[in-house]
């Protein structure tokens, strides 16, 4: 799911925010992300009646884990550096800002309810992937932290309104059912593949054992032949001596 918003910052500057919600990972998704980002770089937005190429910030909310990165919330931040003087440049350029962007990565699967130290912790807790309450007719979320700020309460109310909307709820339930079917299909397929791999591994192990046994037999045969050759050589030596 993709979301786009144009915002005005406290510094009275306008920015374009791209939010990407991705439940699972596939290699093809990377090119889709890049194409989607490229389309927005090409697109101008109207600000105060004028078209402008706005700076972009991307937010990726991922339903899968990035290998080796344990943090639930990561910021990929740019900085300007004067390579000749080897020092940081503090001034921001509209030209550079319009061609590059900061990015935030949120790993929903790594969000934990054990952290409530900051406002960001409380905000992320809305997307924490545990404490779901399952019933025969619905799936609901139990929040263990209730003392939210007003702006987080607003977000929670909007999410609640969306899930309460019959049309939105129907779409979510269809999607959940589709995911369950896919999990059943691919889960079964993965189990079958695992069994095939295990069977193939056993066959390979048996073949390796057979080859090892064969090698041992050949080594024993070589030793026997060598001993027989020595005996024959000794007999020839004795016969030659008697002559």
Give residue limits of the domains in the chain.
1-110
Is pLDDT above 70 for 134? no
Kindly report the CA angle at 10 between 5 and 16, in degrees rounded to 5? 20
Residues in the chain: 243
Q: What is the tens place of the pLDDT at every residue in 145-164?
A: 666 677 777 777 777 777 66
Q: What is the tens place of the pLDDT at every residue in 24-58?
A: 777 777 788 888 888 888 888 888 888 888 889 99
Please tell me the pTM assigned to this model.
Answer: 0.61
Q: What is the tens place of the pLDDT at every residue in 64-106?
A: 888 899 899 999 988 899 999 999 999 988 888 888 899 999 9
Is pLDDT above 70 for 212? yes
Reduce the secondary structure of the chain to three states and give it as a string.
CEEEEEEECCCCCEEEEEEEEECCCCHHHHHHHHHHHHHHHHCCEEECCEEECCCEEEEEEECCCCCCCCCCEEEECCCEEECCCCEEECCCCHHHHHHCEEEEEEEHHHCCCCCCCCHHHHHHHHHCCCCEEECCCCEEECCCCCCCCHHHHHHHHHHHHHHHCHHHHHHHHHHHHHHHHHHHHHHHHHHHHHHHHHHHHHHHHHHHHHHHHHHHHHHHHHHHHHHHHHHHHHHHHHHHHHC
């Amino acid at each position: 799911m993709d979301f786009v918003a144009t915002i005005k910052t406290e510094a009275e500057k306008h920015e374009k925010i791209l939010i990407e919600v991705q439940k699972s990972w596939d290699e093809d998704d990377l090119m889709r992300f890049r194409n989607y980002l490229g389309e927005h770089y090409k697109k101008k937005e109207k600000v105060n009646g004028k078209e402008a190429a706005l700076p972009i910030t991307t937010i990726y909310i991922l339903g899968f884990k990035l290998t080796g990165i344990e943090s639930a919330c990561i910021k990929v931040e740019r900085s300007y550096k004067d390579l000749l003087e080897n020092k940081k440049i503090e001034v921001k350029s509209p030209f550079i800002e319009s061609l590059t962007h900061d990015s935030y990565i949120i790993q929903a699967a790594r969000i934990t309810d054990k952290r409530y130290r900051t406002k960001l912790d409380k905000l992320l807790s809305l997307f924490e992937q545990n404490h779901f309450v399952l019933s025969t007719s619905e799936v609901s979320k139990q929040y263990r932290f209730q003392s939210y700020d007003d702006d987080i309460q607003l977000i929670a109310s909007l999410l609640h309104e969306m899930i309460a909307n019959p049309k939105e709820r129907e779409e979510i339930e269809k999607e959940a059912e589709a995911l369950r079917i896919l999990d059943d299909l691919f889960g079964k397929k993965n189990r079958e593949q695992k069994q095939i791999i295990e069977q193939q591994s056993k066959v390979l192990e048996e073949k390796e054992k057979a080859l090892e046994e064969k090698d041992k037999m050949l080594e024993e045969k070589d030793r026997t032949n060598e001993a027989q050759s020595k005996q024959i050589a000794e007999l020839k030596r004795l016969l030659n001596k008697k002559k």
